[in-house]
Amino acid sequence: MANFKILIIDDRFKDYSEEKKVLKEIVPEIKTIKNTETERIIREVEDADAVIVNLFPISNKIIEKMKKCRVISRYGVGYDNIDVSSATEAGIWVANVPDYSVEDVSDHALALLMSCVRKIPFKDRSIREGKWNLHDFQPVHRIKNRTMGIVGYGRIAKAFHRKISGLGFARVLVYDPYVSMEEVNKMGGEKVDFNTLLKNSDYISIHVPLNDKTRKMFSWNEFTVIRDRSTIINTSRGNIIDEEALIDALKTGKLECAGLDVFGEEPLPENHPFKEIDNVVLTDHTAYYSEESIKELKEKAAKNVLSVLKYGRPIYPVNEV
């Protein structure tokens, strides 16, 4: 058995039996560190052969300390907490798990959409307060013959498109500069530019990663262009939306509703304006979650490490070294 040191930086999971099972053929023990122990992390990464990380920022400062590391495997689809360019320069693979929660996130986006359309959370709160006949306060409109806009068209977006296909939308508009028109047409969608999608969509679901191009992709200008009384769903990353601009659009009635699973600051601060707005549906960055998806995530994050240490390349590479 090889004498590798594998380090898990995390404090999210109750145990790491899935990772240990995957990696037992190359290492007898895995070291885990809570992501609050920054100074210890800096010391421990120095001789680690591999790192598995959740949300802890793997900055250039951390990567400079990695003398032996061959792979940084991220628990999740996004990897914006890892300095990928520094890792590449250091000859370290960065890997993620891009396909572990496709069904779960697309389910959640659909649930947020339907909650917004049918005003379920508002009705639930109001009925508990003794109110009834609520349609005068938040009118409900039929989905059939309306237009759905999908921003980003990766695995999750395609699964979401599949799931909404029976709802009777007149059009499904897709904005993704990296996907061909043929691919979109095959699913029954129409590939359009961003402004066309904004102007014509009654509902918009966001499925893009957070990067320099998508940060505050939806801001003051976009909420000026966006169709009046539209609804926006975000299960991607909070900072894709300028929250101040979104709050203004919700309060002024420019938007009918928003369904949000992700936020610029998490957990949501105690006095955040979203908590006082009736036409927004909030969940706790949990779209990825099911018991099945967590098991899959943990196994695949560990398999990235196993693949690098045995064969020299991860299953799901983010970079090339």
| Beta carbons of 109 and 235 less than 8 angstroms apart | yes
Query: Above 80 in pLDDT, residue 192?
Result: yes
Residue 317 counted as domain residue: no
Is residue 139 domain-shared with residue 36, that is, in the same domain? Answer: no
Per residue in 269-313, pLDDT tens? 999 999 999 999 999 999 999 999 999 999 999 999 999 999 999
Please check whether residues 206 and 253 belong to one and the same domain: yes
Q: How many domains does the chain have?
A: 2
In a domain, residue 95? The reply is: yes
Token couple for 150: 């999908």
Is residue 50 in some structural domain?
A: yes
Say if 262 falls within a structural domain: yes
3-state secondary structure of 281: strand
The reply to whether 199 and 218 lie within a common domain is: yes
The 10s digit of each residue's pLDDT in 168-181 is 999 999 999 999 99
Smallest Cα–Cα separation from 2: which of 95, 68, 96? Answer: 68
The number of residues in the chain equals 321
Inside any domain, residue 321: no
Sheet strands side by side (includes 280-282): 190-191, 171-175, 147-151, 203-206, 230-234, 255-260, 280-282
Judged against a pLDDT cut of 70, whether residue 92 lies above it is answered with: yes
**Tell me, what CATH number does 232's domain have?**
3.40.50.720
So what's the pLDDT on residue 280?
98
Judge if 118 and 62 occupy the same domain.
no
Q: What percent of the chain has pLDDT over 90?
A: 91
DSSP H helices in 129-279: 155-164, 181-186, 194-200, 220-225, 243-251
Q: Answer whether residue 195 is part of any domain.
A: yes
pLDDT beyond 80 at 2:
no
Q: In degrees, to the nearest 5, what angle opens at C-alpha 255 toward C-alphas 286 and 288?
A: 10
Contact in structure between 219 and 249 (CB atoms under 8 Å)? no
In a domain, 319, yes or no: no
For 3-27, how does the pLDDT look when each residue is reduced to its tens digit (9 = 90+)?
Answer: 899 999 987 888 999 999 999 989 9
Shared domain check, 275 and 155: yes
**Residues 56 and 115 reside in one and the same domain:** no
Tokens of 233: 């769903």
Average pLDDT of the chain to the nearest whole number: 96
Distance CA 319, CA 321 (A): 7
The residues assigned a catalytic role are 237, 266, 285
Give the pLDDT score at 14: 86
Terminal alpha carbon distance of the chain: 26
Domain that holds residue 299: 6-100+291-311
